Structure 1
Amino acid sequence: MTTEPPRPGEPRRPSGPRDPGDAWVVAPTGERYWGRFGAAGLLAWDPRRGVLLQHRVAWSHFGGTWGLPGGARHEDESAVGGAMREAAEEAGVPDGAVRARLVSVLDLGFWSYATVVADVVQPFEPVISDPESVELSWVPVDAVDDYPLHPGFAGAWGRLRTLLPVRPTIIVDAANVVGSVPDGWWRDRAGAAGRLMDRVERWLAGGVPGAVLSLDEHTWFPRVVVVLEGRARDAAAAASRSVEVVEAPASGDDEIAAQAARAVEAGEQVTVITSDRGLADRVLAVGAAVHGAGWLLERLP
């Protein structure tokens, strides 16, 4: 929650226990930036309704403008963690309602602001849950520029808008990746698949540099689909919500090819992880990219 101290002549706002991060940072040229450890905001995007914007109360910094729910980060708090916490405090965004897709950082050296672009996965209505908002509203993408925007958000919006359609997806041929390492996986296929998913989950936790995904410099949280077949399907129950699991009813290759085709048709930027040449040819034909099993394994923790 942003609890900015009032300037001289401003009314005093309700106060409570302050986090060490709730403080101004003063630039060498005199400008003030809120958040001792930087700040973060959530750009929640619902394709049907638009982006969630906050109409800032008059006494706040740049009061009366529209921007993102957000505020000062806590010490050692990740950008995603800070943005999600602030969005819950300021707009009542429910836990699990949005899924982070990328983090875009403005780094001034002495202060930084991280915008977390997140997809709405469970539709919700925002709730004014603290005194910092006059209004919370879903605004169609094409209408955002019609609002009096917070200067920081106004400067970033043009670039952020171009990122909304970019949706990287990785589809993992689990049988092929597991089978590429002779570690006894054949004695416990489900256990081997479960260990692979655990490693993928840990890899995703901090985000993936854009260069790894042949994207720009931002940090991305790609949608990851792991396709299981045969006895490895028993590992599906242990999967976390950060990894989607698809149990192939028959041929794993057929399921992977179908998943890739659907994702490409939906406009996603798809990469299939497999060293199977026949499957690689099939997914390349529908517009997906391909990396071998070694590409993924060398990046996993």
Structure 2
Amino acid sequence: MTVVPPAAGEPRRPTGPRNPGDAWVVAPSGEKYWGRFGAAGLLAVDAERGILLQHRVSWSHFGGTWGLPGGALHEGETAIVGAVREAQEEAGVPDGAVRPRFTSVLDLDIWSYTTVIADVVQPFEPVISDPESVALAWVAVDEVDSLPLHPGFCRSWPVLRDLLDVRPTLVVDAANVVGSVPDGWWKDRAGAASRLAARLDGVAVPAADLELGGTAWFPEVALVVEGQARDVTVSAPDGDAGALPAGGVRVVRAAAAGDDEIVAEVARRVSAGQQVVAVTSDRELQARVASAGATPVRSAGWLLGILDGHTRVT
């Protein structure tokens, strides 16, 4: 692994809380947890270099161990925003360098910690930018267990590691989803498909709905359009050439029957080793995509329910 040492000298311990969230939460048993409003950490995954780990300075909680850049959340701050902010403060992670793939939450009732697992979409070199790090390193997944790990990260790592290769995809029957709401979509089918694509970009799906571990996922979306909706104008790329970051939308324009294209798209992605969730309320099509390997199959109403209350990647 490549280790990034401090720029110069031994870092000094900061004095006093910098934010109201920088405080201990003490359990009735006496155990202490950092972060008045909870805490979050970023598990950045680089396809070539592994995951980004922080060697914690000796004076910190469980000092001398390796863990994730992270820390206390600010009041009203979402876990994703907080995890990225902390990673920027502690490891110099640039804006736009990572995109969340899924989250995993440890909820102790009095306190919670959210791990934000994110793909590196713009490679970067970490930079020690505050006193809490002795070193930063990209560590190969197979080498993580050889390090003295922070106890909390050590407990969660086996489960998180098993999920690192999982990349769920939603294959969406655009005509069926758009047609399930009588909002005048028939007057402008391409416009209705464009609005659906915009809503799907960065959608968060509960892990239980995908039959996966973790708490919430940001799956890639393959939006299959047909007929007049093929004129959809969105910034998303077409076709199935290459993987998108988590949460991205790819438009698949059916040359003929939309149902046949949906089944073919499911089959292609299953063959590529992806977990595919098909979205349609058409009963005959539901049976066809299930036979093609979609697991599970969800209705248009399910997806619209997610969209009505979803959280976007930020």
What TM-score, normalized by structure 2, do the two folds share?
Answer: 0.81
**Distance in 2 of aligned mates of 1:171 and 1:15:** 51
Is 218-227 or 15-24 further displaced after alignment?
A: 15-24
Q: 2:301 aligns with which of 288, 294, 300?
A: 294
User: Aligned runs of 1:231-242 on 2, under 5 Å?
Assistant: 231-237=228-234, 242=247
1:196-255 deviation per Cα after TM superposition (whole angstroms, max 9, x unaligned)? 2344358x2xx3222222234622222222233444344432669944131416234454
The residue matched to 2:233 in structure 1 has which SS? helix
**Distance in 2 of aligned mates of 1:227 and 1:15:** 55
Contact 2:219–2:248 (8 Å) recurs in 1: no
Matched, 1:260 2:266: yes
Cα 1:184–1:65 change in 2 (3 A) is same
1:178-211 deviation per Cα after TM superposition (whole angstroms, max 9, x unaligned)? 1334433221112211332344358x2xx32222
Matched, 1:248 2:253: yes
The residue matched to 1:101 in structure 2 has which SS? strand
* Equivalent position of 1:3 in the other structure: none
How far does residue 16 in structure 1 lie from its aligned partner after superposition?
A: 8.8
Q: 2:220 aligns with which of 220, 223, 227?
A: 223
* Equivalent position of 2:147 in the other structure: 147
Amino acid across the alignment from 2:44? A
**Distance in 2 of aligned mates of 1:139 and 1:244:** 30
Amino acid across the alignment from 1:268? Q
* Equivalent position of 1:183 in the other structure: 183
**Distance in 2 of aligned mates of 1:264 and 1:126:** 35
Cα 1:134–1:29 change in 2 (3 A) is same
Matched, 1:121 2:135: no
Contact 2:222–2:252 (8 Å) recurs in 1: no
* Equivalent position of 2:208 in the other structure: 211
**Distance in 2 of aligned mates of 1:229 and 1:17:** 56
Identity of aligned residues (%): 67
**Distance in 2 of aligned mates of 1:17 and 1:107:** 24
Matched, 1:45 2:45: yes
5+ unaligned residues in a row in structure 2: which ranges?
A: 1-10, 238-244, 309-314
The residue matched to 1:236 in structure 2 has which SS? coil
User: Aligned runs of 1:22-41 on 2, under 5 Å?
Assistant: 22-41=22-41
1:145-201 deviation per Cα after TM superposition (whole angstroms, max 9, x unaligned)? 100111111121122212222322111121222133443322111221133234435
* Equivalent position of 1:73 in the other structure: 73
* Equivalent position of 2:276 in the other structure: 270
Equivalent residues, number: 288
* Equivalent position of 2:95 in the other structure: 95
* Equivalent position of 2:159 in the other structure: 159
* Equivalent position of 1:4 in the other structure: none
Contact 2:105–2:214 (8 Å) recurs in 1: no
**Distance in 2 of aligned mates of 1:163 and 1:186:** 41
Contact 1:194–1:238 (8 Å) recurs in 2: no
1:104-155 deviation per Cα after TM superposition (whole angstroms, max 9, x unaligned)? 1112222111111122233322222222222211111111110011111112
**Distance in 2 of aligned mates of 1:191 and 1:68:** 43
Cα 1:265–1:51 change in 2 (3 A) is farther
The residue matched to 1:267 in structure 2 has which SS? coil
**Distance in 1 of aligned mates of 2:268 and 2:83:** 31
Amino acid across the alignment from 2:267? A
How far does residue 30 in structure 1 lie from its aligned partner after superposition?
A: 2.4
**Distance in 2 of aligned mates of 1:266 and 1:93:** 31
**Distance in 2 of aligned mates of 1:297 and 1:74:** 31
Amino acid across the alignment from 1:214? E
* Equivalent position of 2:3 in the other structure: none
Amino acid across the alignment from 2:195? R
**Distance in 2 of aligned mates of 1:298 and 1:154:** 36
Cα 1:84–1:259 change in 2 (3 A) is farther
Quick one: higher RCO (CA 8 Å, sep 6+), 1 or 2?
2
